[in-house]
Amino acid sequence: MKTIHRAIYRNARRMGSVDAGSVDLVVTSPPYPMIEMWDEIFSQQDPAVKQALSKGDGASAFERMHALLDEVWREVYRVLKPGGFACINIGDATRTVNGNFALYANHARILNSMQALGFTALPCVLWRKQTNAPNKFMGSGMLPAGAYVTLEHEYVLILRKGPKRDFFKAKDKQRRRQSAIFWEERNRWYSDVWFDIKGTPQRLADKNTRKRSGAYPFELVYRLISMYSVKNDLVLDPFLGTGTTMAAAMAAGRSSIGFEIDGALEAVACRIKDVVVDTALPIIRQRLVNHMAFVVQRLNDNGLLKHRNSHYGFPVITSQERELLLNDPLDVSEAGRNLFEVAYSETPQAEFCRDWEVELDARRRDAAAESPGPEKPGGNVTQLQLF
C-alpha cells in the first residue's frame, strides 16, 4: 500500500493541474475574511479590499474577500467526484470598523456560496476553540447592554456534491470495509459538537510566517478524513498552509494534493516527511488502545460482544467493524520537489493480535478469583491487565 502527496505553490483560484471529477474529499481551512492577520493576503489579490477597509466600509471589504474565496469554491466543485464531500473549517469574525463593532458571519456566507454552486449542505460540526485569556470578554462586561459574548467555537461546514457516493467494484467495497471506524468512535465523531479537540498553537520558526498561518488541529483533520473518505482516496486542500491536511492524509492512508499561495510556507510543509511517521503511530495505537478499553468496559457491564475483528481478533459491536484495519505508515520518501510517497504496513499491529476471546475469558476468571463481588460474580477486567 502506497500513497502519493503533492504540494503546489500557486493560487487555488485556478487549479488547472487537477482533473475535473478526480478528488474524493476536500478538507480545508481558508483565510478568514475580516480577521486582521489575513487582510494583506486578500488585499494583494484585490486592492479594493484595502481601499474599503481604509474607508471604513466593512461590509464591502467582507464581500470582496469572499468573492475571492468564491472562485476557489467553484474550482472545488469542479474537481470533486460526484458523491464527494467538502469539509470547510471556518470561524466567524468580530471587528470594529469605523467605530462600529460587528459580527461578520463567514460560515453563513460560505454556506450560501456553496449551495449556490450546487452543493448539498449537511449538518455541520461546531468545535470548541477555547481561549484562556483573562480579558476575553468584549465590552464593559458587568453592565447590561454593554458587553458581547465571546467567539470560542468554529464551524466545520460539511457539503456533498450530488447524491450519496456508491461503491460498486469489489475492491472498492473492500477498501471501504477496511476503512471502517469503531462503533464507539462513530458515536463520538458524528456528534455535531466536539469538545475533545482543542486549538493548536503555531510553532513555526519564522515570526512573519507564523503571523500568516492559522493551522487547525491535526486531530480534527485526521478525524474528518477518516469519516468522509476511504483508504487510497485523494484528499485536496486548496489552502494547504503548513501542511496539516497533507500530514493527516499520510497518517490515514489517503493520497493528497495541496495548493498554497504563500511560498514562504514551503519549507515548513516540507518538514512533514520527517515527523509524520512519529506523529501517526501513537495516534493509530491510541485508537486501538481506546477500543480495547471500551471492550473491557462493555464486557464488565454487559457481557460478551457479538462480533470479532478478522485482523486483530478483538471483539467489536457490529459486523461492519470486522474487516477494520489501521495501516501504519512506515516510510516517507521524496519523489520530487514537493512530491512525497508514503509506504504502509499491510499487516495489523502485532501487539493487538491475540485470541482475545480466550484471553479476556481467562482474565475475567483470574479477576473473579482474586476479588469476587456480589454484583459482578464473573469478575472485572481492567485495561492495565491486558497491556
- Spans of all domains in the chain: 2-270, 278-386
CB 280 within 8 A of CB 344: no
Cβ neighbours, 10 Å, residue 215: 22
Taking the chain, what is the end-to-end CA distance rounded to the nearest angstrom?
29
User: What b/e readout covers 2-37, taking b as 16+ CB neighbours within 10 angstroms?
Assistant: ebebbbbbeebbebeebeeeebbbbbbbbbbbbbee
pTM score, two decimals? 0.90
3-state secondary structure 257-270: EEECCCHHHHHHHH
Cα–Cα distance for residue pair 231/153, rounded to 1 Å: 30
Per the listing, cell 491536511 goes with 245
Cα–Cα distance for residue pair 35/239, rounded to 1 Å: 16
Cα–Cα distance for residue pair 299/210, rounded to 1 Å: 48
The per-residue pLDDT string of the chain (387 residues; one tens digit each, 9 = 90 and over) reads 999 999 999 999 999 999 999 999 999 999 999 999 999 999 999 999 999 999 999 999 999 999 999 999 999 999 999 999 999 999 999 999 999 999 999 999 999 999 999 999 999 999 988 655 555 666 666 778 777 888 889 999 999 999 999 999 999 999 999 999 999 999 999 999 999 887 554 443 445 554 445 578 999 999 999 999 999 999 999 999 999 999 999 999 999 999 999 998 988 888 898 999 999 999 999 999 999 999 988 888 877 788 999 999 999 999 999 999 999 999 999 999 999 999 999 999 999 998 887 777 776 676 666 655 544 444 555 554 555
Cα–Cα distance for residue pair 370/350, rounded to 1 Å: 29
CA distance readout (Å), 138 to 101, 145, 153: 10, 12, 16
Q: Where does 2-270 sit in CATH, by number?
A: 3.40.50.150
- Beta strand 315-316 with 307-308 is antiparallel
Cα–Cα distance for residue pair 365/17, rounded to 1 Å: 61
What is the predicted pLDDT for the residue at 378?
44
3-class secondary structure, 102: strand
3-class secondary structure, 337: coil
Per the listing, cell 474550482 goes with 75
CB 9 within 8 A of CB 339: no
3-class secondary structure, 23: strand
What is the predicted pLDDT for the residue at 303?
73
What is the predicted pLDDT for the residue at 206?
47
3-class secondary structure, 318: coil
What is the predicted pLDDT for the residue at 203?
44
The closest alpha carbon to 249, from 285, 273, 214, 282, belongs to 273
Task: Kindly give, in sequence order, each residue whose CB lies less than 8 Å from that of residue 272, ignoring residues fewer than 6 positions away.
Answer: 243, 246, 247, 250, 332, 340
Dig out the grid coordinates for 107 from the structure: 460560515
Half-sphere exposure of 93 (CA within 13 A, CB side): 21
Report the interhelical angle of 272-302 vs 356-370 (nearest 10°). 60
